Amino acid sequence: MQSIVQLLRDPIEGPLLAPLLSGAGTDEDRVRYIAFLRERHDGRGELLELALSLGAEPSVGSVADRLRLEELIGQVRPVEWWQAVRPIVWTLGCGLAKAEPPAVRFAFECRKAWESLTPTSVAGVRHCEGCGELVYLSRSRQEAEANARLQRCIAVPVKVASRVSQDVTRNVLGRPHAPSLWAAEVFPDPQPRP
């Protein structure tokens, strides 16, 4: 098992992986990376290819494909690699946290991948079998915040998540949890602190 740093140092894989790590990667970059991984018979290629096909609107994947995706996600190492290359980074506001205050619910990261959720007849909306809620793909920060205020589960693409992370963590030291900081902005504490 190689670390992200080791993967980036690979003279062939590194340049293919770097744009995805920066958040600037496109689906075309992912397709090139998939071809490289498949050529090497690396199982990560199957995972990324499946994620791309299941993440497309409308998805043509079957229940078996979504189950296979979940299985592959559980096997991938290093785990950080999956977080870096997937097109939809966060699934937030999980229905399993419905009883929590809005800021806590919003910051609650679902373990389900957008790509593994059941497509509905509405583009950009999927159903989660885990919590029974609809999940809304939020293609901008404003859309994500509006959906969060409506107490909806949301999925956030990597480009939006990267911008939000840079914005909400810019003056924070240590290893901040970007969704929690974003939640604090969207749902400010109504109680003044002493």
Contacts with 109 (C-beta within 8 Å, 6 or more apart), sequence order? 90, 91, 92, 94, 179
Tokens of residue 127, six digits:
């159903």
Residue 193 has pLDDT above 60, yes or no: no
Considering the domain boundaries, does residue 194 fall inside one?
no
Look at residues 48, 68, 85 and tell me which one is the last residue of a structural domain: 85
Amino acid at 86: R
pLDDT tens column, 152-182 = 999 998 888 888 888 888 877 777 888 898 9
pTM of the predicted protein model: 0.81
Considering the domain boundaries, does residue 193 fall inside one?
no
Please check whether residues 130 and 147 belong to one and the same domain: yes
pLDDT tens column, 60-103 = 678 888 889 989 988 888 888 887 788 777 889 988 888 888 99
Please check whether residues 124 and 64 belong to one and the same domain: no
Considering the domain boundaries, does residue 192 fall inside one?
no
Say what percent of the chain tops pLDDT 70: 94
Distance (Å) of CA 109 to CA 13, 94, 166, 190: 29, 7, 18, 23
Helices (runs of H) and strands (runs of E) counted in the chain: 10, 5
Please check whether residues 176 and 93 belong to one and the same domain: yes
Structural domain count of the chain: 2
Please check whether residues 73 and 61 belong to one and the same domain: yes
Considering the domain boundaries, does residue 191 fall inside one?
no
27-39 vs 13-22: helix crossing angle, rounded to 10: 150
Domain span at residue 15? 4-85
Residue 23 near residue 159, CB atoms below 8 Å: yes
Write down the mean pLDDT value for the chain.
87
Please check whether residues 94 and 182 belong to one and the same domain: yes
